Structure 1
Amino acid sequence: MMIILALFVVFLIGVPIAFSLGLVSLGQIMIDGFPPLVVVQRMFTGADSIALTAIPLFILSGGLMYRGGMSKRIVNFADLLIGHFPSGLAMVSILACMFFAAITGSAIAATAAIGGIMIPLMVEKGYDKEYCAPLLACGGSIGPIIPPSIPLLIYGVMANVSVAKLFIGGFLPGLLMGVGLMVYSFIVGKKRHYIGRDKRAPFREVLKAGKDALLALLMPVIIIGGIMSGAFTPTESGTIAVFYALIVGMFVYRELSMKDLWTAMVDCAKSTGQVLVVVAFASLFTWVITVNNIPQQVSSFLGYTISTKFMLLLVINIILLIAGTFIDTTSAVVIFTPLFLPLVQSFGIDLIHFGLVMAVNLTIGMCTPPLGVCLFVSGSIVKISLKDQFRDLLPMLGVLILVLLMVTYIPDIVLLLPNLFS
């Protein structure tokens, strides 16, 4: 267990997570007497997976969609559809985040793309900055839940379970997160007199915007429908998403230039490099703790102290919620999956269900201080600090935690669609 303690000590002194995993693993390998060549072998093995090629594809498709005008059309259509309600722009923001989540699988991408459009507009219409920023951060957290999802993809590879079933299982939890935030926004809008559009948009105008956004709206339908029908795999869906976004943005909407394409590819390369470095070091760390029987020790310890499935899930939720506040989602998935997997299996918990429980937990961490990456992204748009966002953030986190408890203790929320389409 000392290796786990050493890892968190290295985290706390400020060493980047990927290198923390590498340093601790290398130290344990030297202590155990294994040759240093093992480091390279295990890192290469961890990153050498066909399924992981979907990560750059989904990141690139999101970048192309944002720069090709698809995000703008989705926001405009959502605004005409529900923008006349109290707190209408806030509800539009959440709905747009849900649409964007169905394409990118990234919380940061959803927060940046939709927040960059909606937050300045909301502030201009009289919404408080301190309310807009955390709302878009929480809305962006839906990104890794509604399929496709980068954390679920990594979990599926590590746990050796169907990525397609994980993707399908994330649809209802993501929908609940979005609806919960929209209901909360409606209540706050009534109290604070956040006014939406002056009147309901004429049906003809809504229809026109719907036609304009149709190709953008069809993208998640094609991706999710293709996976659910078995027409293509989750990895293949990433390729389809890239080509679809490229063709629509460049040749139909004609807003995607060669310069935009190059920028999207560079951003994609940077983001992919960051993710795969973590995955490679995490593979090494997983091998080291497995050789030293750490997962079995954790399972034995918790198994002796916990006797029911209810209590086990509660303890895991608490651990993951705390971990998510200072460890990014990808790193947390690769650290905790091998630790909890034997214990979860011994209690008969479905691995698809557990994958979504873990994902929802950790995405909540992306909008929770002190790490709160999505909070930094949304706050930077309107130049406010984490402290300024905290008051309005708390009830939003309460909504997301309520959804987490529903997902945890009502497994059918996750398993209904995978079982239906199996």
Structure 2
Amino acid sequence: MIILLFVLLAVFVTISMPIGISLGVATLITVLFATNIDPVMIAQNSFTALDSFTLMAIPFFMLAGNFMRYGGVSKRLLNLADEIIGFITGGLGMVTTLTCMFFAAISGSGPATVSAVGSFMIPAMKEEGYDGGYAAALTAAAGTIGVVIPPSIPFVIYGVVTGTSIGDLFLAGIIPGLLMGVALMVLNYKIAKKNGWAGKGNRPTFKSVLKAIKDAFWALLSPLIILGGIYSGYFTPTEAAAISCVYTFIIGTFVYKEIGKQELFDCLKDTVVIAGATSFMIGLSSGFGTLLTMEQVPGTVASALINFSNSKIVILLLINVFLLIVGMFIDNISSCTILAPIFLPVMLELGVNPIHFGIIMTMNLAIGFITPPYGANLFIASAVGKIPMEDIIKYIWPTIGVIIAVLLLTTFIPQLSMLLV
């Protein structure tokens, strides 16, 4: 039964069937021909999974990210970052990374971060003499920070699937997310120095920085409101997402005055399309996961891994490698909903905190955003920057290397994620 289920899933994904449909059809065929389970189980579990107050945070964070992109919020964050560090060697690359970190603290989405920041920064970097492929690769890599620095849509998914505190996951992602950003900045500095990509040359003055902060003041307030409200206990992550939507809409419409009727329509349309596909995946992956649980697959996998080796280090390395490979072919949300219930019992058996494992899993799958052939961030960077994919892939490998280095540090030094928790 399990062989049939996974073979069907592999075949459907290989022929480019949408992942949500692949999960649903593979589960349905397996239930019909290899079990005595009533197929209505799939529909019941799909609707039950979506009937969640917590999951409402996902479309709200997506909409807030779109309001930022169309409302001029990301542009002002970018200007602030440019004023602070734009003069350093490789300054525009560092500005790109720092802006992605700012944007990540509001949107919770990797692809949204690349789209919003890349549309400004990739052309700007090309104008300053940067290689177009490198500009797009760095933007795509910095976009992965969007799902690690809180708020994070994959953290919401993991929290719902495993019953883990989403607020604690948000706290745990802060230090690893910052480390990813610093690592990419260091790499960018070395590459820029080697290629002679200098900064803009003008060191910031107190007056110019103050002016940039004043211009970006309302944009900077957004992450403070979202994260401050969650950690102070004033509202839940879902309520924070809704407040973020209202706040970014008001700022983009009435303060920066860049959201008109057409921009509002585009924001809503983009959110509906992405959130609809995401909800479809989450719902049907629940039916898939329920079938695995009923057939005791998580327990079997846990026993097999523990019997393979008693070493916590070896098993963590194996799971990291496996998740990196999965991320190359399947998106973050689908992978998390399928694999988190399977691997979490193994982690608990080894004494790994479920919050720590949530960070490890999200970071692994985030690397899939920049790893061919799936690489959603690569495709978005290619589209917004009008850069051929082969030019981007040539430069993406060093960025993958430094992010994997941060992943390994986070995996084997739990304090990096658990310190603030």
TM-score grouping bracket, smaller chain normalisation = over 0.9
Moved more, 54-63 or 261-270: 261-270
Q: C-alpha displacement at 1:45, in angstroms?
A: 0.8
* 2:287 alignment partner in structure 1: 284
Distance 2:245 2:309 in 1: 46
Instruction: Tell me if 1:265 matches 2:268.
Output: yes
Instruction: Tell me if 1:228 matches 2:231.
Output: yes
Instruction: Tell me if 1:9 matches 2:7.
Output: no
* 1:304 alignment partner in structure 2: 307
* 2:380 alignment partner in structure 1: 377
What secondary structure, in the 3-state scheme, does the structure 2 residue paired with 1:297 have?
helix
Q: C-alpha displacement at 1:13, in angstroms?
A: 2.9
Q: Equivalences for 1:72-87 in 2 at 5 Å?
A: 72-87=75-90
Q: C-alpha displacement at 1:53, in angstroms?
A: 0.1
Equivalent of 1:20 in 19, 22, 45: 22
* 1:185 alignment partner in structure 2: 188
Moved more, 222-231 or 105-114: 222-231
Q: C-alpha displacement at 1:106, in angstroms?
A: 0.5
Unaligned runs of 5+ in 1: none
Q: Equivalences for 1:187-206 in 2 at 5 Å?
A: 187-206=190-209
Q: Equivalences for 1:238-257 in 2 at 5 Å?
A: 238-257=241-260
Unaligned runs of 5+ in 2: none
Moved more, 340-349 or 398-407: 340-349
CA RMSD of aligned residues (A): 1.1
Deviations 1:317-347 (A, max 9, x none): 0000011011111111111111111111111
Q: C-alpha displacement at 1:381, in angstroms?
A: 2.5
Distance 2:410 2:8 in 1: 32
Distance 1:338 1:27 in 2: 22
Distance 2:269 2:16 in 1: 27
* 1:342 alignment partner in structure 2: 345
Deviations 1:141-171 (A, max 9, x none): 1101111111110000010010000011111
Equivalent of 1:64 in 52, 64, 67: 67
Please give the TM-score of this superposition, normalised by the length of structure 2: 0.97
* 1:351 alignment partner in structure 2: 354
Q: C-alpha displacement at 1:303, in angstroms?
A: 1.4
1:133 maps to amino acid: A
Q: Is the CA contact (8 Å cut-off) linking 1:295 and 1:340 kept in structure 2?
A: yes
Q: C-alpha displacement at 1:371, in angstroms?
A: 0.8
Distance 2:92 2:39 in 1: 56
Q: C-alpha displacement at 1:4, in angstroms?
A: 2.7
1:123 maps to amino acid: K
1:163 maps to amino acid: I
1:302 maps to amino acid: L
Q: C-alpha displacement at 1:384, in angstroms?
A: 2.7
1:26 maps to amino acid: L
* 2:137 alignment partner in structure 1: 134
Distance 1:146 1:11 in 2: 29
* 2:146 alignment partner in structure 1: 143
Please give the TM-score of this superposition, normalised by the length of structure 1: 0.97
Distance 2:118 2:147 in 1: 16
What secondary structure, in the 3-state scheme, does the structure 2 residue paired with 1:143 have?
helix
Instruction: Tell me if 1:53 matches 2:56.
Output: yes
> Aligned residue pairs: how many?
418
Q: Is the CA contact (8 Å cut-off) linking 1:28 and 1:288 kept in structure 2?
A: no
Deviations 1:85-114 (A, max 9, x none): 001000000000000000011000000000
* 2:407 alignment partner in structure 1: 404
Distance 1:46 1:20 in 2: 18
Q: Is the CA contact (8 Å cut-off) linking 1:141 and 1:366 kept in structure 2?
A: yes
Q: C-alpha displacement at 1:239, in angstroms?
A: 1.0
* 1:88 alignment partner in structure 2: 91
Q: Is the CA contact (8 Å cut-off) linking 2:149 and 2:173 kept in structure 1?
A: yes
1:23 maps to amino acid: V
Distance 1:384 1:250 in 2: 32
Taking only the aligned residue pairs, the percentage that are identical comes to: 44
Q: Is the CA contact (8 Å cut-off) linking 1:353 and 1:415 kept in structure 2?
A: yes
